[in-house]
Amino acid sequence: MSDFFKNKRIVVTGGAGFLGSYITEGLQKRGCKNILIPKIEDYNFVNLPDCARMYDDMKPDIVIHLAAVVGGIGANRQHPGKFFYENLMMGVQLIDQARLRKIEKFVAIGTVCSYPKFTPVPFKEDDIWNGYPEETNAPYGLAKKMLLVQSQSYRAEYGFNSIFLVPVNLYGPRDNFNPDSSHVIPALIKKCVDAIDAGDDHIVCWGTGSASREFIYVSDAAEGILLASERYNGTEPVNIGAGFEITIKDLVEKIVKLTGFKGQIRWDPSKPDGQPRRRLDVSRAKKLFGFEAQMTFDEGLKKTIDWFLENRPRAR
């Protein structure tokens, strides 16, 4: 590891969250002495004065912007306005205030939800504008994609160094297991474990199971973001992924087996499947800053389930 981060002041928005905790650990391993985590109780980035005050208080060299309002399909359908407005305003204001203060670098974290609904698989970064996102999470995906426009525009006009990374769905220990807002892997793990505890003979899963998804283990995603933060200073978006896909049906069967649930799986086709397929082309990240995911999916799932079983009282 280089000394790139050692003497820099790094603000990690969302640093107390799931991915943020792994970014913070990665920075500590790299010898970073000044990791600054703004808390939402002190700084609400939807409000411009709070953004400005954070920069004045913390005086960062680099900002890694992870803070976001996120959730699964249900949460996206319930709060499309909130997801659009708050994600857009946080990102736009943080980038603009960073530009005004001439900070060294801004690392904007996008989302795979920004890709068009029917993107050729694997998703290449050059295809990100070739269509409208899948409807259930389009407001969130489009709000995040505006940060790519802003990053590129500010680089062109002001010479501001802002990069845009596109991680695929994350999973791992310390994930959000709240069924009202969690993503598919923690939601399914909790569903199976709860069914075992309750003695239920079946679980109900949304959709048909035919959609496919790619998942990246959270520590791998953190490593990719930190490598890009250190080594990449380009204008083009870069995917952060593991380069594989699995159908939701196969995913459910894996989680059922690993949790030990013995009951029936029932599908509710009245609920949406979401985007038909998701798998990223990850060649650009390898070429530009040497990133490749390391965790196998089966091992990562087992680690996630084991963590949840050991930490259920305090799991989110």
Res. 2: pLDDT tops 90 = no
- What pLDDT was estimated at residue 70? 80
**Taking the domains of the chain in order of start, what are their residue ranges?**
9-172+215-244+278-295
| pLDDT tens string 226-272 | 999 999 999 999 999 999 999 999 999 999 999 999 999 999 999 98
Indicate if 154 belongs to the active site.
no
Question: What is the reported pLDDT for 102?
Answer: 98
Mean pLDDT of all residues belonging to the chain: 96
**Other Cβ atoms within 10 Å of 302 Cβ, number:** 13
Q: What number is the average pLDDT over the span 26-52? A: 97
Task: Assign a CATH topology to domain 9-172+215-244+278-295.
Answer: Rossmann fold (3.40.50)
Question: Residue 49 has what pLDDT?
Answer: 98
Is residue 38 very low, low, confident or very high in pLDDT (cuts 50, 70, 90)?
Answer: very high
Predicted confidence band of residue 182 (pLDDT cuts 50, 70, 90)? confident
Please tell me the distance from the alpha carbon of residue 300 to that of residue 291, in angstroms, as a whole number.
18
171 near 304, Cβ under 8 Å?
yes
Mean pLDDT of 35-59: 97
Question: For residue 165, what are its two tokens?
Answer: 């990374």
Closest CA to 240 of 256, 220, 255: 220
Q: What pLDDT is recorded for position 154?
A: 98
Question: φ, ψ for residue 131 (rounded to 5)?
Answer: 145, 175
| Statement: residue 310 has pLDDT above 80 | yes
Rounded to whole angstroms, the Cα distance separating 222 from 5 reads 14
Structure tokens at 145: 């994609």
Burial class (CB in 10 A: 0-12, 13-18, 19+), 79: middle
Per-residue b/e over 95-121, b at no fewer than 16 CB within 10 Å?
A: bbbbbeeebebbbbbbbbbbbbbebee
C-alpha 1: how far from chain center: 24
Average pLDDT over residues 33-55: 97
User: Residues 191-207: what's their mean pLDDT?
Assistant: 96
- Residue 165's Cα: distance from chain center in Å? 10
Say whether pLDDT at 181 is over 90. no
How far, in Å, CA of 118 to CA of 133, rounded?
Answer: 8
CA 59 to chain centre: 25
Least confident residue range of 141-155, 208-222, 245-259, 269-283: 269-283
For residue range 80-130, what is the model confidence (pLDDT) as tens digits? 999 999 999 999 999 999 999 999 999 999 999 999 999 999 999 999 999
3-state DSSP assignment of residue 101: coil
The Cα 100–Cα 102 span in angstroms is 6
Question: H or E element: which one contains 165?
Answer: strand 162-167
Separation between Cα atoms, residue 119 and residue 54, nearest integer Å: 38
- Selection from 51, 71, 47, 49 nearest residue 63 by Cα: 51
Q: Name the token pair of 190.
A: 């909790």
Q: What are phi and psi of 309, to 5 degrees?
A: -65, -35
**The two three-digit tokens of residue 32, written as one number:** 């970073």
pLDDT in the model for residue 258: 97
What burial class does residue 2 get, using C-beta atoms within 10 Å of its C-beta: 0-12 exposed, 13-18 middle, 19+ buried?
exposed
Report the pLDDT value the prediction gives residue 192, as an integer from 0 to 100. 97
Token pair recorded at residue 56: 């004045």
Confidence check: pLDDT of 316 > 90: no
| pLDDT of the residue at 71 | 76
Query: Of these residues, 22, 43, 140, 232, which one is catalytic?
Result: 140
